[in-house]
Amino acid sequence: METPATTLSLIDDLVSQLGQGAVQWGEAIDARYQADWSGAPPVRPLALVHPAHPGEVATALRICHAHRVPVVPLGGLTGLAGGAMPQENAVALSLERLNAIEQVDTAAATLTVQAGVTLQAAQEAAQAAGLLLGVDLGARGSCQIGGNLATNAGGNGVVQFGMMREQALGLEVVLADGTVLNMLRPMLKNNTGYDLKQWFIGSEGTLGVITRAVLKLHPAPRARVSALVALPDYASAIRLLRLLQAHFPGALAAFELMWEDFYATSLRWSQLASPLPQAYPFMVLAEVTGRDQALLTDSLQTALGEAMDQGIVLDAVVAQSQAQALSLWRIREATAEFPTHLVPINFDVSLPIDQIGDFAEQCVSALTARWPDQRTLRFGHLGDGNLHLTTDARSLGASLTPEQAAHEVEEMVYALLAQRGGSISAEHGIGLHKKPYLQASRTPAELAAMRAIKLALDPLNLLNPGKIFDLTQQDPKATP
Amino acid sequence: METPATTLSLIDDLVSQLGQGAVQWGEAIDARYQADWSGAPPVRPLALVHPAHPGEVATALRICHAHRVPVVPLGGLTGLAGGAMPQENAVALSLERLNAIEQVDTAAATLTVQAGVTLQAAQEAAQAAGLLLGVDLGARGSCQIGGNLATNAGGNGVVQFGMMREQALGLEVVLADGTVLNMLRPMLKNNTGYDLKQWFIGSEGTLGVITRAVLKLHPAPRARVSALVALPDYASAIRLLRLLQAHFPGALAAFELMWEDFYATSLRWSQLASPLPQAYPFMVLAEVTGRDQALLTDSLQTALGEAMDQGIVLDAVVAQSQAQALSLWRIREATAEFPTHLVPINFDVSLPIDQIGDFAEQCVSALTARWPDQRTLRFGHLGDGNLHLTTDARSLGASLTPEQAAHEVEEMVYALLAQRGGSISAEHGIGLHKKPYLQASRTPAELAAMRAIKLALDPLNLLNPGKIFDLTQQDPKATP
């Protein structure tokens, strides 16, 4: 297909301002820029731009704005909701060359990075200064700080340090027309008018492109102890959570709940023996941080002993070495094996914590009523009220394509969720894939307010258009 | 003065929808609704409306919107920046009858309250459930949760639990036209499109009226120990902060720095003897929380001993009883005596923490060069990077009125602050009084973005107009 003249004119402008090496188009665009981890089929963008520094991001956006061409910002492309999926009619703007760690300020406990720095590189820079970045997640080696902020990433540390939003002290953001908002202030407290940076965090690149960030760091804990804990029922998991939070205020670093379906499957896949002699309805992997490994191990044993006396805990193993801790964590990290063993239909929902147990049961009952052979694994960051459910599309029978299966399971689960006022996305975002269901979690008045804000900051709808919501008043599909 | 017909028609509509008892006008408006704690002269509003529940707030706003009459929301009126000052041409909307504590959910550790609940009532409701609300401040008995959220209040607990923003899980907000945004979701994680509630927190009632909130609670600590610590210099204060954060991860509950000028003045006013035998350049009041009073006291003594060995700390007293802790805190709480002993010109600034010592010196040098007898007290929430400076207007000589004195000191301090990229308001907000200086802390592009958002959500500029910024592109006064 021949490149249209309007596109060539845009490319000319981009090349003349950013240089030949910073712009690709047509077949020169490498496949890795054409898809994210969401499983959506690849899309070749109109052009791919690789700015070398934040100022070039502003230049690229100004040029695209002048040509009225939409722009899709690309971070590490590890998103599961399709928020960074390229579009045929849009320029893809890769942030990966903005990979400078600009400052680690030990006195202030802050880290200033460009948007394309990977989460892992940021973590390592903090660590080298004896500090800790509060967010961690499986894609750490590929995902980028800009994308983590744009999607308000969650992950493993939320129960202790909050989401990515809570780590952000300052941002630099470029608006659709190339205007630079310099909000790179490192202060913890700053009540000078609207806290603009909050609008961009979690807006999935639809309001502005994040180019730099100042992140808050925490003192690195000197000790860290994990335990695997067996529980009789869901209510005991909440009681254990509160007991550990009271025993280790501010120091409970993880509280991961696994239903028996998840736990047994994980052991089967890994061919590991359970560290506990029998099966239990629920298992929790908990981690606490402190100053002294031996003292902390003792304290955790004491706390779990107390929980056992109260009947909350049936059995427990406290890791006595880092190797043992890793082997416990391996059970939880079976999620990385999902694509190998399943055709996964994934959910990332949140609910008031006391409803999660019932809701998980209700989902499995409804799925089983419809598909007696259905296989669903349940697990979650219980400390954050975040439940993950993964149904194997193949367990629903051969009569459905994986797409049909996903669609039907989603309709069922989100309808049950909407009845309880839950959230269809606790941490993964909406992107493209959850857009049809957004109304299950947001009222029409909220959606109208989002659209008003989008139009105020990006009146031509050029930034990542069609992600999260469409600008028409009616979403394409009504909620069940 | 006769009430104009347009106003009578508005009052008729308000009375017919809300009832006679919910609407006052003219001389019937009690003086306490005509001013806040900022010291600005009282202003009688067009009318005063007292809705009895959130639905009536929407009704009142709908009526005022139909009449194109502006509305100023009133919380506890304890603000220091004039953000809730009534206006002659606007209806004042008091939230005080929205004082129901709707739910304390112990399992979820959440508190649902209406906006007019005082901070203290909310704290007590949390406490009765064995939980803790993370925000505390001196005005707790009068200030209201809605106002705390609208101004993103700070106070004493920020170093441990963050500002009011960090406590907010869900909000209900009424827009200028009466549209209700129901965002009362109690989930810790909810990445379903823009996190709308963030826009209203800290927007000082200019974007919407907060009517209900779901707040996050924390486990109540069983032990709490305070210490007063003497330091040789400012750099040692930062080192002590980091040392205590490392010793007590997540459990450092206060870290209040007092310069010698503040400390000596406080002792003189209270006629208390210093708990330490001599004077020192800097004093810190630190507080840590934990599980066991005796163990925690020991740990704090150990940590301070370590700091003394490193030369960071010159002397220290660790409170051995609650009475002793209170007497230490009394020194810090001399701020309540400011209006009695001074004609205070107050600053509430934030800066990168490593610059605060130099900046405080620089301000005092500049003030002394101009007014050799100037008297300034310096103190702050150092754990949050928040410096308070208070200059006694009377110490600047009799040739200036207090207003002129305030103006000249403000010009001087904010000019020095702007050079360092500091914030003119760490926690008190902008309101009316800091509006002329907003450009010292925000770029023109940021102010333009704020105005665009204001117009998107309140196109007729009816909600608390003229607070924070004016809608004209040029603020009335350029920054020094």
Q: Is A291 close to B445, i.e. CB distance below 8 A?
A: no
Q: What is the pLDDT of residue A476?
A: 41
Phi, psi of B316, rounded to the nearest 5 degrees: -160, 150
B413: domain CATH number is 3.30.70.2740
Q: Is B385 close to A187, i.e. CB distance below 8 A?
A: yes
How many angstroms separate the CA atoms of A114 and A103, rounded?
A: 10
Task: Determine if residue A210 is left, alpha or beta; phi over 0 gives left, psi from -120 to 50 gives alpha, anything else beta.
Answer: beta
Band of residue B320 on the pLDDT scale cut at 50, 70, 90: very high
Residues of A in contact with B221 (CB under 8 A): 249
How many angstroms separate the CA atoms of A450 and A444, rounded?
A: 10
Q: Which of A80, A93, A17 is nearest to A50 (CA)?
A: A93
Q: Is residue A196 part of a domain?
A: yes
**A118 and A172 fall within a common domain:** yes
Bridge-based pairing state of the strands B344-350 and A344-350: unpaired
Domain residue limits at B42: 5-94
**A376 and A412 fall within a common domain:** yes
**A32 and A111 fall within a common domain:** no
Interface test with B, best of A149, A164, A191 (most B CBs within 10 A): A191
A198: domain CATH number is 3.30.465.10
Fill in the DSSP letter of residue A420: T
A294: domain CATH number is 3.30.70.2190
Q: Which of A53, A52, A59 is nearest to A16 (CA)?
A: A59
Do residues A464 and A206 touch, judged by C-beta distance below 8 A? Answer: yes
Q: Is residue A409 part of a domain?
A: yes
How many angstroms separate the CA atoms of B99 and A116, rounded?
A: 47
**B71 and B179 fall within a common domain:** no
Q: Give residue-wise pLDDT tens across range B275-301.
A: 999 999 999 999 999 989 999 999 999
Domain final residue, candidates A64, A94, A124: A94
Q: Is A152 close to B469, i.e. CB distance below 8 A?
A: no
Do residues B325 and B319 touch, judged by C-beta distance below 8 A? Answer: yes
**Which residue do the tokens 């406080």 mark?**
B266
Chain A to chain B Cβ contacts (< 8 Å): 255
Using 70 as the pLDDT threshold, list the residues of chain A that sit under it: 1, 473-480
pLDDT at B395 over 60: yes
Q: Is residue A212 part of a domain?
A: yes
**A109 and A40 fall within a common domain:** no
Tell me whether A185 touches chain B (CB under 8 Å): yes
For residue A111, give every residue at least 6 positions away whose Cβ sits within 8 Å of its Cβ, in sequence order, or none: A101, A103, A104, A105, A122, A125, A126, A131, A133, A214, A215, A217
Q: Is B166 close to A165, i.e. CB distance below 8 A?
A: no
Q: Is residue A393 part of a domain?
A: yes
- Which segments within B190-301 are labelled E, that is strand? 209-219, 223-231, 252-259, 282-290
Q: Which residues does residue B209 pair with via DSSP β-bridges, in sequence order?
A: B174
Edge-to-edge strand ranges of the sheet holding B252-259: B315-318, B223-231, B282-290, B252-259, B376-381, B386-392, B344-350
**B202 and B114 fall within a common domain:** yes
Between positions 310 and 369 of A, the ones with CB within 8 A of B are 350-354
Edge-to-edge strand ranges of the sheet holding A91-94: A23-24, A47-49, A91-94, A71-74
**A70 and A152 fall within a common domain:** no
Do residues B82 and B430 touch, judged by C-beta distance below 8 A? Answer: no
**B264 and B356 fall within a common domain:** no
How many angstroms separate the CA atoms of A122 and A140, rounded?
A: 9
Count of positions (residues) in chain B: 480
Domain final residue, candidates B415, B435, B455: B435
Q: What is the DSSP string of B149-208?
A: HHTT---TTHHHH--HHHHEEEEEEE-TTS-EEEE----S---SS--THHHHTTSTTSS-
Between positions 4 and 33 of A, the ones with CB within 8 A of B are none
Q: What is the pLDDT of residue A249?
A: 84
**A111 and A58 fall within a common domain:** no
How many angstroms separate the CA atoms of B272 and B327, rounded?
A: 9
Phi, psi of B102, rounded to the nearest 5 degrees: -85, -35
How many angstroms separate the CA atoms of A219 and A46, rounded?
A: 45
How many angstroms separate the CA atoms of B272 and B269, rounded?
A: 8
CA angle centred on A43, ends A39 and A45, rounded to 5°: 140
Token duo for residue B21: 């008892």
Q: Which residues does residue B72 pair with via DSSP β-bridges, in sequence order?
A: B92
Q: Which of A84, B381, B407 is nearest to B391 (CA)?
A: B407
Task: State how far Cα A322 lies from the chain centre.
Answer: 27
Q: What is the pLDDT of residue B473?
A: 54
Lowest-confidence region among A347-351, B109-113, B153-157: B153-157
pLDDT at B428 over 50: yes
B17: domain CATH number is 3.30.43.10
Furthest C-alpha separation in chain A: 76
For residue A359, give every residue at least 6 positions away whose Cβ sits within 8 Å of its Cβ, in sequence order, or none: A349, A351, A387, A416, A417, A420, A422
Tell me whether A291 touches chain B (CB under 8 Å): yes
Tell me the nearest-neighbour CA distance from B271 into chain A, angstroms.
33
Q: What is the pLDDT of residue B446?
A: 97
Q: What is the pLDDT of residue A250?
A: 86
How many independent structural domains does chain A possess? 4
Half-sphere exposure of B171 (CA within 13 A, CB side): 29
Q: What is the pLDDT of residue B321?
A: 95
Q: Give residue-wise pLDDT tens across range B355-387.
A: 999 999 999 999 999 999 999 999 999 988 999
For the segment B115-132, the average pLDDT, to the nearest whole number, is 97
Q: Is residue B456 part of a domain?
A: no
Between positions 246 and 265 of A, the ones with CB within 8 A of B are 246-247, 249-251
**B70 and B129 fall within a common domain:** no
Q: Is residue A441 part of a domain?
A: no
How many angstroms separate the CA atoms of A119 and A146, rounded?
A: 9
- Average pLDDT of chain B, as a whole number: 94
The H or E element spanning position B49 is strand B47-49
Q: What is the DSSP string of B407-436?
A: HHHHHHHHHHHHHTT-BSBSSS--TTTTGG
Do residues B114 and B93 touch, judged by C-beta distance below 8 A? Answer: no
Domain final residue, candidates B64, B94, B124: B94
Tell me whether A442 touches chain B (CB under 8 Å): yes
The helix/strand/coil state of A256 is strand
Can you give B35-47 as a three-state secondary structure string? CCCCCCCCCCCCE
Q: Is residue A480 part of a domain?
A: no
Q: Is residue A466 part of a domain?
A: no
**B133 and B28 fall within a common domain:** no
Fill in the DSSP letter of residue B479: -
Q: Is A116 exposed, middle or buried (0-12, 13-18, 19+ CB in 10 A)?
A: buried
For residue B401, give every residue at least 6 positions away whose Cβ sits within 8 Å of its Cβ, in sequence order, or none: none
**A252 and A266 fall within a common domain:** yes
| Percent of chain B clearing pLDDT 70 (strictly above) | 98
How many angstroms separate the CA atoms of B199 and A191, rounded?
A: 13
